Amino acid sequence: LRRNAGELEFHQAVREVLESLGRVIAKHPRYLENALIERICEPERQIIFRVPWVDDQGRVQINRGFRVQFNSALGPYKGGIRFHPSVNVGIIKFLGFEQTFKNALTGMPIGGGKGGSDFNPRGRSEGEIMRFCQSFMTELHRHIGEYTDVPAGDIGVGGREIGYMFGQYKRLTNRYEAGVLTGKALFYGGSRARTEATGYGNTYFVQSMLATKGQSFDGRNVVVSGSGNVAVYTVEKVQSFGGKVLAISDSSGYIVDENGIDLKLLKEIKEVRRARISDYLRAKGEGKGVYFVKADSGSIWDVPCDVAMPSATQNELTGADAKTLVKNGLVALGEGANMPCTPEAIRIFQEAGVLFAPGKAANAGGVATSALEMQQNASRDSWTFEQTEARLAVIMKNIHDTCAGTADEYGAPGDYVLGANIAGFVKVAQAMDALGVI
Ligand code: NDP
């Protein structure tokens, strides 16, 4: 704690994993040797850098850039880049730590890392976004590469930003190294189904959990928080499985549509116009079962639902929200975002018998499909949407079964948190053990 003073989210993520390890250490005491656990909690490398850029008024702006290369025992560091004003080293470390176990759970040869900046893209022009991305990559390019570290998108970083960063990487290195970044557009080396993968993957995971109880999404009321990349494609997949999505949000508030969210309109607002979610009400008109609640007037988790899919940001769902959801009859929850539920919320869900899918398992479909993008780049191939989605579905089923099986093996049936933490830990720990004291 002293070494990582003030990094609250990092403490939270580490504590959750360590709390799950008692049973695995009782069975395999060798994991206590050679400071293995201490090494797993310490990033291999942390890079913090200045990002200067010029805004549209000609003023010089300064932001701080980060790349935390957490663990490369299983493969090159892999994990997204986040642009959000809340970004600091503690947030990037928590994300990199989670990513290490998530990537291990996919069964693919990828280590864990994460990066970002406290840059706020909201309200910035195209030119400002491009100049920022170029400046960010001017430093980052020294530290990444197809065999070293392969970043992708995250909050505030989508296909547009990946394009500007890839362009600058190519220009600085004079190499067309397609596998250096994932989340690229299709016409220059991206993978089909990558955009959809995290939301689809979380939906597949929850579907597998529901199936263990003989249930499904069909006819269920669902609430999805956020309205970014993960949220939009969660809505799409849930609807295709027969679920009705009643509410979505952004940081200004939430929209309820009692008829079920209109996916076409949602995509138009968020992906084409890059506008606010309150525009949904403007487009639909008042008094047709559609209303907007401002963020300071209520929580999206007040909307009664059978399945909750938090897909915005860390600690967005509190203990009080969890109590409300349980009271309203929640059956299952899949974490689309990273660590969206507070530890108290998780405890409440588990005590109430809610099927709970932790992010490091449930949202692993994004990074798994990024690894499929790396495979396609390496073989200079391009797969169909159907082929790629079929791979994603198999990967998510395997992750589900691994978590459920590990929970059973360690005497905690149905505890997907414990299952994910132990299964991810064992994969990383075995590899580190084999590689000596590194
Ligand atoms: P986007 O930037 O596309 O969307 C983020 C959404 O969450 C927006 O609607 C945003 O609203 C909202 N949001 C962000 N921060 C806050 C906040 N502090 N309070 C309230 N709402 C907030 O990001 P993604 O959809 O890519 O990522 C969402 C989550 O999923 C993150 O936790 C990310 O780490 C995780 N994730 C993403 C993956 C991916 O493939 N993209 C893979 C695995 C996990 P607003 O526009 O108002 O800020």
Whether 163 lines ligand 1, by a CB cut-off of 6 Å, is no
Last residue of a domain, one of 297, 330, 362: 362
Q: Give the end of a domain, one of 181, 209, 231.
A: 181
Q: Tell me, yes or no, if the pTM score tops 0.90.
A: yes
Q: How many CA atoms lie within 13 A of 263 on its CB side?
A: 15
Q: Which residues of 382-417 are buried (b: 16+ CB within 10 A; e: fewer)?
A: ebeeeebbebbbebbeebbebbbebbeebebebbbb
Residue-wise pLDDT for 237-249, tens only, equals 999 999 999 999 9
Q: Is position 424 within any domain?
A: no
d(CA 65, CA 84): 11
Answer yes or no: is 415 within a domain: no
Q: What CATH number does the domain containing 68 carry? A: 3.40.50.10860
| 284-292, Cβ contacts within 8 angstroms, sequence gap of 24 or more | 284/257, 288/259, 289/257, 289/258, 289/259, 290/255, 290/256, 290/257, 290/258, 290/259, 291/255, 291/256, 292/253, 292/254, 292/255, 292/256
- The closest-lying atom of ligand 1 relative to the alpha carbon of residue 227 is 9
182-214 confidence digits (pLDDT tens): 999 999 999 999 999 999 999 999 999 999 999
CB 95 within 8 A of CB 10: no
- Ligand-binding annotation for 103, yes or no, is no
Same domain assignment for residues 357 and 212:
yes
Residues 202 and 303 in one domain: yes
CA dist 289 and 274 (Å) reads 24
Q: Of all atoms in ligand 1, which is nearest to the CA of residue 359?
A: 44
pLDDT at 61 over 80: yes
**How many other CB atoms are found less than 10 A from the CB of residue 45?**
13
For residues 77 and 159, state if they share a domain: yes
Domain assignment present for residue 308? The answer is: yes
Ligand 1 in reach of 313 Cβ (< 6 A): yes
**Domain range for 87:** 42-181
Inform me whether the pLDDT recorded for 1 exceeds 80: no
Q: Among 335, 362, 389, which residue terminates a domain?
A: 362
The predicted-structure confidence for 313-355, as pLDDT tens digits, reads as follows: 999 999 999 999 999 999 999 999 999 999 999 999 999 999 9
The verdict on 112 and 229 lying in the same domain is no
- The answer as to whether 434 is a domain residue is no
ipTM more than 0.85?
Answer: yes
Q: How far is the CA of 341 from the centre of ligand 1 (A)?
A: 14
**Average confidence score pLDDT of the chain:** 97
Give dist(CA 426, CA 173) in Å, integer.
37
Residue 2: predicted pLDDT: 82
In this predicted model, what pLDDT tens digit does every residue of 159-171 receive, in sequence order? 999 999 999 999 9
Q: What is the side-by-side order of every strand in the sheet holding 45-54?
A: 45-54, 60-71, 112-117, 77-83, 149-152
Nearest CA to ligand 1 atom 46: 250
CATH of the domain at 237: 3.40.50.720
Amino acid at 126: E
Provide the CB-side half-sphere exposure for 416 (13 A, CA).
Answer: 28
pLDDT at 287 over 90: no
Is 338 annotated in a binding site? The answer is: no
Q: Which atom of ligand 1 is nearest to the CA of 231?
A: 25
Confidence of residue 91 (pLDDT cuts 50, 70, 90): very high
Same domain, 312 and 343: yes
Q: Whose CA is nearest to atom 15 of ligand 1?
A: 313
CB of 225 sitting under 6 A from ligand 1? no
Same-domain check for residues 225 and 264: yes
Task: Work out how many domains the chain is built from and give that number.
Answer: 2
Residue whose tokens read 């940081």: 251
Residue 410 lies in a domain: no
In the block, residue with structure tokens 């999505």: 245
What residue type is assigned to position 393 of the chain?
Answer: A
Q: Is 338 a pocket residue for ligand 1 (Cβ < 6 Å)?
A: yes
Q: Are residues 104 and 218 in the same domain?
A: no
User: What distance in angstroms lies between residue 413's CA and the mean position of ligand 1's atoms?
Assistant: 31
Q: What's the gap in Å between 154 CA and the centre of ligand 1? A: 7
Q: Is the dihedral of CA 222, 94, 192, 157 positive or negative?
A: positive
Sheet holding 355-357, edge to edge: 290-294, 253-257, 244-250, 221-224, 307-309, 332-334, 355-357
What amino acid positions are annotated as catalytic residues? 114
Do 323 and 207 share a structural domain? yes
* Alpha carbon of 251 to ligand 1 centroid (Å): 10
